[in-house]
Structure formats: C-alpha cells, structure tokens
Amino acid sequence: MSYQVLARKWRPRRFGELVGQEHVVRALTHALESGRMHHAYLFTGTRGVGKTTIARILAKSLNCERGQGAEPCGECAVCQAVDAGRFVDLLEIDAASNTGVDDVREVIENAQYAPTRGRYKVYLVDEVHMLSKNAFNALLKTLEEPPPHALFLLATTDPQKLPVTVLSRCLKFNLKRLLPEQIQGQMRHILDAENVVAENDALALLARAADGSLRDGLSLLDQAIAYGGGGVRGDDVRAMLGSIDSAEVLGLARALAAGDGAALLVEARRIVAFAPDFGKVLDDLATLFHRVQLQQLVPDLDAGSAPSAADVADLARRLAAEEVQLYYQLALTGRRDLPLAPDEVTGFEMALLRMLAFRPRRDDEAAQAPAPPRTAAAAAAVPTAGARDTGPAPSAAAAAPLRQPVSAAASVPAADARPAPDAQELPDWSALIERADLGGPLRELARRTALQGREGHTLLLAMAHHDLILADPAMLAQLEARLEPLLGQRPRLRCIGCDAVDSPAARAARQQSGALAEARAALDADPVIAELRNTLGARIVPESIRPVEQSP
C-alpha cells in the first residue's frame, strides 16, 4: 500500500508546523537556544494534540547533525531517521503494554550507556500513567539524576494518575485542546495542498466532530474523502456523521419560540426520518441557543457564520433571555438522559416536549387563554392570578395583591372563612429558611433569594441575575422537599431574575458592611490609636479590621 493517511503524512516535523501549542513551542525554543534544557519533561493533554510529535521534534533538535537548536534541518541522516521512526537513540516505550518493573529496569540499565549516533539518548514514554507503582518507584532515582547524555520525555492523557514524586521531578507542559477553527484551518491547508475540493460547512462539521483532537479530525477527513469519492461535501459529511442540516435545528427552535407543539413534533419527526445521531442533534440545538444568547447579551461579538446571523437575530428577538437559558439546559440534560430512554427517538422527542412543557407563558398568551373557574373571593383577591411573566421582576399586577392579606369578612362568604390560596399572607422567608436548617449549597441558594409573591402553590423567588445559575432544577426540588413539612404541603418554587433583591444574604452583607464601617470609624476616633500614629508612625492594616462580634 503506497497511500499514507493524512494524520501521518502531515505530522508536523518542525515546531513552526505545530497548531495551537504556541506556549509549549515558545518555552522549548528558548530552552534549546539558550542550552538550558531540563532532564525530564512531562507532556499532558487529550489524544491527538501533539504530545508525541513535540517529543520527536525535540529529539531531532537535540541531535541534528548541523547543530543543536530549535530549527532542526530535516535533511541530515539523524533528522530523516527520526522522521522515519528508526533513530537508534530515540527509544519510544509504550507504557500501556510495558507496565512492569522489569521493563523499567531495562530502560534504566540502558540509560547508563552513551548514545550510539546522536548527542543524547531520548526516552519517550507514552501513556506513562499506565506504569505500575513498583515501576514508578524504580524510575524515580533515574528521573531525578539521569546521566548527562539522557533525556526523558513522558506523555500522558491522565496526569492525575501520576505519583506526586514523579510530577515533582519533571517540567510539565499542558497541551491545549484545539479549537474547531484551528482544526478547520489546518484541514483547509492540507486539502489545498492535496488538491481536494471541500465545502466550508463540511469542514466545520468535521472540525466540531474532532472534539479538540487534530489527529481525530484528520482521520475523519480521510473517511469523508473516501465517502465522498474524492471530494468533501456537506451533505455527505452529515450523512457520514449522522448529523443534520442547521435549517432542521432552526425549525425546532422556531416551533419552541412560537409555543407550537404540533409544529415542534412535525419538525422532530422530519429529523427522525434522517435517522441521525440524536445526541448530536441536541448538541446542535444547544449550540444554536448559545449563539442566540450571545446575540442577546453580547450582540457585538462575532459568534460564527452558520446558521445565518439573520436567523439567530430573529430568535433572539422572539425569545426571552431566561427562556434561552432554560432551553439550553434542557438540551444538555436531554443529551445526558438519552441512554436511559426506552429508545432514542422517545428520548429525543421527550427532551423537546420538556422544553415546551416548561416554557414560561407570556403576558399576551395569558390574556388570550380562557380563565379557569374561580371563587368570588379568589377573583377579588387576585385579578391576574396564573399569569406568568418573563421579565427581570414579577409584574406589579401579579405580585402586589399577594403582599397583603385580604379581609375574610369583606370577600369570603361566612360559610367559608378560609382565604383563597392565592390571597394567603406570605411567610417570613428568612425565618422559614432558618427553621428548615439548610446547609451547604442549598442554604446559599435560599439565602440569595427573596420571596416575592405566590401563584397558587407556586412561590415566586426573586434572585439577582448573576445568581440565577444557582437555581438548578435539582436544587430547587431539594429546597421544595425541605420546606414541605414547614408549610404543610409541598410548594413549587420558581426563580425570577431581578436587578436588586432584598434577600437574607443581601441584608447580612449590608449589616456586615455597616458594622465594619462603624469599627473603622471607632478606630479612627480612638485617642490611643491617634497617639501611636503620631509618635511611632503606626498604621492600621484595613484588612485586619473586624467588628467585635466577628473577631476570631
């Protein structure tokens, strides 16, 4: 077979050809040019980002016949031997298959002998985390004090499994996952050199599917060229990867924005007909919501070209910012739960229906919806009960009547003196969460909220916008369960973003700030402190001041 796969043919042979690892290249280049080389290097990072490639280039740089430096010639016998994988003084050891202490002892004994052809013996130990504990112990002394002609290069995808004693003896470089744009750019460069025609959207799909690994991306590119009969086209790549066109995902988002369940299922079943990878479809949907949120909150940021900016801008106008966050989160959880579904189609459709079910009802929709039958007391107390707002704070019409109890004599017949559920006086939120004896993240969530109103059995909690990330559905469910025995029934909690929230945490922060200001003022007015300042030049360290009740 004369054909060589792209990942091997286009493996970088110089530091300048590496993609996305500039921080490592810069450090190694300076070390080579100054002659300040460490005796042991550890390269960490996911698969296919250049760990072994950097080690081989380093071996060439140290042993090039035209002199040591950051730019090996690539033409001498040593450089060509390294590129061909037959340089006798570069010993590559696969720790996954040579895990025992005997294998390491053989390396240690061999390291004592001078190199055969080059200036250095270079030991490249790949997947070093696979070595046994005894093998690591045998290697420690040699790693710390190797012979002057030996250099150890360790590579691993899982540095957490390495003993601290090994980490402390190595100079560590963490190689970055490559961005889709970097992978796509390298693909375009290679295909231009190979005279292969490729569509940009096809390369974008392959670059995303590579998941940060250039080697995986080039392997997918090889597969796409074979699948497309010598060309790389978007439709072929989508069929190969089990993905769908961005217009299909846009159809789902538009149906959600309209709250149209029938249209949503029509779009979903159109997608099902393609038999795609449903996990990737939900990933694409989450990516679309990410772009929509960027358009809403950071409109000047260029977030890419597909789908079109006009489609994204249209969705950004039709959806509230908190809706986008909700749909994004539900797309992620739907992706995670797919393996648990009875089948993938059911799991995919339920993920979309969950978005529709939890979609907040808008004011205009509430006005058009038929009102459910209510008692006279409920109608008098809460004229807009059931309406859900999607702005940064609850509407005045929904929240104001809930803050004051309605007189039973004025609005409820004598036969039934109980207030309507929506007209009940709100409990003291601070006292309620203290009685719930919350701890950890649950207590922090409750302390950062303020009870703003009630819709039936749903309590409306106001939170600062930057705290809404804490309102995870699972956390809210735990809080509901802890409040149930105190309220006599399990409430439903709904969080609403606000600009300013009078929460227990905010009140505590104000009290602390006031007490701290008083303490500083007392110190400034203290005659003893003033005397120490004047006579000894003493000064107060501001960070050390605490109110008396907070002193350790």
pLDDT digits (tens, 9 = 90+) for 54-82: 989 999 999 999 888 899 998 999 999 99
pLDDT digits (tens, 9 = 90+) for 411-425: 333 333 333 334 457
26 and 156 fall within a common domain: yes
Per-residue CA distances from 46 to 181, 246, 294, 426 (Å): 17, 28, 28, 53
Q: Is the pLDDT of residue 359 over 60?
A: yes
346 and 283 fall within a common domain: yes
Specify the pLDDT at position 384: 33
DSSP 48: T
Q: Is 199 exposed, middle or buried (0-12, 13-18, 19+ CB in 10 A)?
A: middle
| Vertex 459: Cα angle to 455 and 461 (nearest 5) | 125
Residue 223 located in a structural domain: yes
Q: pLDDT class for 379, splitting at 50, 70, 90?
A: very low
158 and 185 fall within a common domain: no
Q: Residues 120-134: what's their mean pLDDT?
A: 89
- 413-424 burial by CB neighbour count: b if 16+ within 10 A, else e? eeeeeebbebbe
- The residue segments making up the domain with residue 539 are 505-550
- Where is the domain boundary, 357, 383, 413? 357
**Is-cis flag, bond preceding 307, omega within 30?**
yes
Strands 458-464 and 492-498, how do they pair?
parallel
39 and 184 fall within a common domain: no
Q: Residues 452-470: what's their mean pLDDT?
A: 83
Residue 404 located in a structural domain: no
Closest CA to 405 of 394, 389, 417, 419: 419
Residue 378 located in a structural domain: no
Closest CA to 497 of 458, 462, 448, 455: 462
The domain that holds 268 is classified in CATH as 1.20.272.10
CB atoms within 10 A of CB 186: 22
161 and 42 fall within a common domain: yes
Q: Which segment, 41-45, 99-103, 418-422, 539-543, is predicted with the most confidence on average?
A: 41-45
Cβ atoms of residues 363 and 398 within 8 Å: no
Q: Is the pLDDT of residue 346 over 60?
A: yes
Identity of residue 518: E
Length of the chain: 552
Question: Of all helices (H) and strands (E), which one includes residue 459?
Answer: strand 458-464
Please give the tally of structural domains in the chain.
Answer: 5
Residue 159 located in a structural domain: yes
Q: Is the pLDDT of residue 184 over 90?
A: yes
| Tokens at 196, concatenated | 């292969």
Specify the pLDDT at position 353: 93
Specify the pLDDT at position 303: 53
201 and 318 fall within a common domain: no
Question: Tokens 């375009």 appear where?
Answer: 188
Q: Is the pLDDT of residue 295 over 80?
A: yes
347 and 482 fall within a common domain: no
Alpha helix stretches (DSSP H) within 426-503: 429-435, 440-447, 473-487
74 and 138 fall within a common domain: yes
The domain that holds 217 is classified in CATH as 1.10.8.60
Q: Is the pLDDT of residue 214 over 80?
A: yes
Specify the pLDDT at position 256: 92
Question: Tokens 């006798």 appear where?
Answer: 88
Q: pLDDT class for 276, splitting at 50, 70, 90?
A: confident
Closest CA to 436 of 480, 482, 474, 471: 482
DSSP 451: E
Closest CA to 98 of 122, 128, 123, 121: 128
106 and 168 fall within a common domain: yes
93 and 234 fall within a common domain: no
In DSSP terms, 40 is beta-bridged to 152
15 and 164 fall within a common domain: yes
156 and 230 fall within a common domain: no
